[in-house]
Amino acid sequence: MRYGKFRIVTQITVFFLMFVIPLLNIYELYFITGTYYALNVGALGVADPVVILQAMFASGQLTLPLLSAAVFPILVAFIMGRVWCGWLCPYMFIADRAESLRRFIRRKVFKLDNTFINRNAQNSFKANFVRFSFLITGTAFGGILGIPILNYISAPGILSTEAMIFVKERSFSIEILFLLGILGLQLTLLPRFWCRMFCPTGTVLSLIRSPYTLGVESTNKNSASPCCRENSCSDVCPMGLQPYRESRDMLCVNCGQCIDACKHNRLRFHGMGSA
C-alpha cells in the first residue's frame, strides 16, 4: 500500500480546516472552535500537550479540564505514534513543500545532487538531545516565570492563530515573522531543522509510546548497511533517519514516505493501528 496520496489529502484537509473554523464561527456556527493550540469539538476539548504541560508547571496544579484536554492527544499518540506530525500538522505540510522547493533549486539551478540531511548531518542522538534539552529548559523557565514561553514558538499553534486572524481581520500578527524565519532557514542552511531539533510539540509527542505503538518496521537483517544501493528510504525521510535501521527512533513521525520509497518492500507499518 502506498501512503503518499492519503497523507497529502489529510494534510490539505487539516490545513484548510484552520481557515474553515474561524469562518464557521463568523457565521455563528460554534460546533468547532479554537486553534491548534486548543480545540473544542462539540463537548470534546483537545489541547496541544505542550500547552497543558506549561499550564501545569506555571500553575503548579493539574485541573480536571486540563487533564481531559490531554486525554485524546495522548491516546492517539500512544496508539498511532506521531501521526499528528507526520499526517496532520500544518507546519509539516508547508515544510514538505519548502523541502521540495529546496531540492528543486539544488537540482535545477545549482546542478547538485539531491543531498539531504541524511548525507551531511545524520545524527539522531544529537537531534534528540538538542530537542529534549530545549523542551526541558523552555518548560522550566516557563514554570519559573509563569509564562508559557513555548506557546510563542509553537509552529502549528502560530499558524492556526495566524489563519484565524487572517480570516477575521484580513491581517497577520508579528508572529508570522517567526514562521517565515524558520522556513527561510530550512530552505537555505538548515533543512528540516525545526521539526528535527526544536519543536516542543513533536518532542512531547515522541515520549508517548510503548513497544506496541504504531511504527515502521524494517526487515533488513544487516543494520550496518542499507539493503540496497539506492538507499531511497534515507533520501526521503523528513527526520533525517536511516529507516532501514532507525525506523523505531523517537524522531520518526510515521509519515510512511520511507515505505513508499522502498522498491524492495523491506519496510512496513507495524504495531497498534496497523492494517
Residue span binding ligand SF4 (CB under 6 A) among the ranges 19-27, 53-61, 117-125, 250-258 = 250-258
Q: Minimum distance from CB of 92 to ligand SF4 (Å)?
A: 4
Residue span binding ligand SF4 (CB under 6 A) among the ranges 13-21, 61-69, 83-91, 220-228 = 83-91
Single-letter code of the amino acid located at 58: A
Contact between 14 and ligand SF4 by CB under 6 A: the answer reads no
Return the number of the residue (142 or 238) whose C-beta is nearest ligand SF4.
Answer: 238
Contact between 195 and ligand SF4 by CB under 6 A: the answer reads yes
Contact between 237 and ligand SF4 by CB under 6 A: the answer reads yes
Nearest to residue 21, comparing CAs of 46, 6, 40?
40
Nearest to residue 195, comparing CAs of 244, 149, 130?
130
Residue span binding ligand SF4 (CB under 6 A) among the ranges 66-74, 107-115, 165-173, 252-260 = 252-260
Q: Binding to ligand SF4 (CB under 6 A): which residues in 140-159?
A: 155-156
Rounded Cα distance between 60 and 101, Å, is 44
On whether the CB atoms of residues 175 and 162 are closer than 8 A, the answer is yes
Contact between 252 and ligand SF4 by CB under 6 A: the answer reads yes
What number of other Cβ atoms are within 10 A of residue 229's Cβ? 7
Single-letter code of the amino acid located at 87: W
Contact between 54 and ligand SF4 by CB under 6 A: the answer reads no
The alpha carbon of residue 35 and the mean position of all alpha carbons in its chain are separated, in whole angstroms, by: 16
Contact between 258 and ligand SF4 by CB under 6 A: the answer reads yes
The angle that helices 124-145 and 49-59 make with each other, rounded to 10 degrees, is 40
256: left (phi over 0), alpha (psi -120 to 50) or beta: left
Contact between 226 and ligand SF4 by CB under 6 A: the answer reads no
Nearest to residue 246, comparing CAs of 262, 234, 232?
234
Contact between 253 and ligand SF4 by CB under 6 A: the answer reads yes
Return the number of the residue (63 or 223) whose C-beta is nearest ligand SF4.
Answer: 223
Rounded Cα distance between 210 and 112, Å, is 41
Q: Minimum distance from CB of 218 to ligand SF4 (Å)?
A: 9
On whether the CB atoms of residues 235 and 114 are closer than 8 A, the answer is yes
On whether the CB atoms of residues 185 and 179 are closer than 8 A, the answer is no
Strand partners, 269: 216
Contact between 138 and ligand SF4 by CB under 6 A: the answer reads no
Q: Minimum distance from CB of 169 to ligand SF4 (Å)?
A: 24
The alpha carbon of residue 68 and the mean position of all alpha carbons in its chain are separated, in whole angstroms, by: 22
Residue span binding ligand SF4 (CB under 6 A) among the ranges 21-29, 116-124, 197-205, 221-229 = 197-205
In this structure, what C-alpha cell is assigned to residue 135? 523542551
Q: Minimum distance from CB of 267 to ligand SF4 (Å)?
A: 7
Contact between 92 and ligand SF4 by CB under 6 A: the answer reads yes
Nearest to residue 99, comparing CAs of 214, 241, 237, 230?
237
Question: Which residue from 87, 91, 193, 244 is in contact with ligand SF4, where contact means CB under 6 A?
Answer: 91
Contact between 243 and ligand SF4 by CB under 6 A: the answer reads yes
Q: Which residues bind ligand SF4 (CB under 6 A)?
A: 85, 89, 91-92, 155-156, 195, 199, 201-202, 216, 236-239, 241, 243, 247, 252-258
